[in-house]
Structure 1
Amino acid sequence: MRRTGMAAIALVMLACACAPAEVDEPRLPVASVRSTQFSPPPPPVTDTVPTAEQLTNLLAASLNYAIPEDDRARLFDGPVERNVSLARAWGAQPNPQHIDFTTVEPAGPDAVNASGQGHLGNIEPYPVGPIPFVRWDNEWKVSRAFACGFVGAFDGHDACA
């Protein structure tokens, strides 16, 4: 009886495993909604004269690949569509330095120069500047001419075409 009981249990298990499964309606693919890993761009700087901290954040954001390319393109003066390739090349620096601006000086109508300290890896902080910023469309931006000169000196000649 013991063998018969085991055989019956095995037969029931086998029958359950082989029985046709209920047919469900085909499922539509489900989109998984997750928050993006992108960082938001900084708020526009619209003060009459920007602060050193505002320009520090603006420059850092322009180099930050965690911010979408189109948003970084808006951080340079000029039309956004002209600045997308510049934003790509500008942010692609292999070891971007971090700059903390400490002074902002007027450089003409709708223009300022910022100076401060650069930080790169374990190197002692070093003086940086002046770096030009311009007021375009009532917002302070990284100077496109400055950024184009910088990336053009390396390999981004097409970035500002």
Structure 2
Amino acid sequence: MRATNAVIVASALVAITTATCGCSPADDAESRDPTVIIHSTQFATAPTLITDLVPTPEQLTALYNATTNYSIREEDRALLLDGPSGLTLPIARAWGAQPRPQYIQFTALELVGPDKINATGPGRVEGLEPYPVGPIPFVRYNNEWKLSRAFVCGKLFLAAPQVCD
């Protein structure tokens, strides 16, 4: 009885091994595991709103660079431009879609009027040496400092004039 069970188990193992090996050629270099591509659903956070009477160059640097950071949600980038968000959303979308946005590090601020500041500093685009940038205007809108929508629209005039109508 034991010998019969052992033969049955051995035969079953041989059959399983033969079937498995017969289906998988030894020279098959391609993996049978499916490839999984994971896309993040997390967005970067926008910088904190600037409510100081006079912002610092570092605060304006973070604000400006966030406006072109496509990993920040469009709705959040729209809040960084002056004006109602319904008006600034298409502008933020076009502004953030630049193929090679420049990174700016503001080093100097100039108060040019009530609730208006111009910022200057070195800028750079990927692969290029730093170059002087500015003045770039920021305005105080609803007690928060924002990048001037008029400035952005001036830069988008040729690329996406319809968003600033």
Q: Distance in 1 between matches of 2:151 and 2:6?
A: 89
1:51 offset after TM fit, Å? 0.8
Q: Distance in 1 between matches of 2:6 and 2:70?
A: 69
1:37 offset after TM fit, Å? 2.1
- The answer for the alignment partner of 1:6 in structure 2 is 8
1:120 offset after TM fit, Å? 1.6
1:119 offset after TM fit, Å? 1.2
- The answer for the alignment partner of 1:159 in structure 2 is 163
1:76 paired residue among 81, 89, 92: 81
Q: Distance in 1 between matches of 2:114 and 2:132?
A: 25
- Trace 1:29-68 onto structure 2 (pairs within 5 A): 36-68=41-73
- The answer for the alignment partner of 1:106 in structure 2 is 111
1:107 offset after TM fit, Å? 1.1
3-state SS in 1 of match to 2:126: coil
Residues 1:4 and 1:115: Cα distance change in structure 2 (over 3 Å): closer
**Identity across the alignment (%):** 53
Q: Distance in 1 between matches of 2:43 and 2:6?
A: 64
| Structure 2 residue ranges without an equivalent (≥5) | 13-39
3-state SS in 2 of match to 1:148: helix
| Structure 1 residue ranges without an equivalent (≥5) | 11-34
1:4 offset after TM fit, Å? 9.2
TM-score (norm 1): 0.78
1:55 offset after TM fit, Å? 0.5
What value does the CA root-mean-square deviation take over the aligned residues? Answer: 2.5
Q: Distance in 1 between matches of 2:97 and 2:52?
A: 29
- More divergent stretch after superposition (101-110 vs 116-125): 116-125
1:127 paired residue among 125, 132, 139: 132
Q: Distance in 1 between matches of 2:127 and 2:6?
A: 78
3-state SS in 2 of match to 1:78: coil
1:77 offset after TM fit, Å? 0.4
- The answer for the alignment partner of 1:148 in structure 2 is 153
Residues 1:3 and 1:46: Cα distance change in structure 2 (over 3 Å): closer
Residues 32-80 of structure 1, C-alpha deviations (whole Å, 9 max, x = no match):
xxx8420111100011111111100000011111110000000000000
3-state SS in 2 of match to 1:101: coil
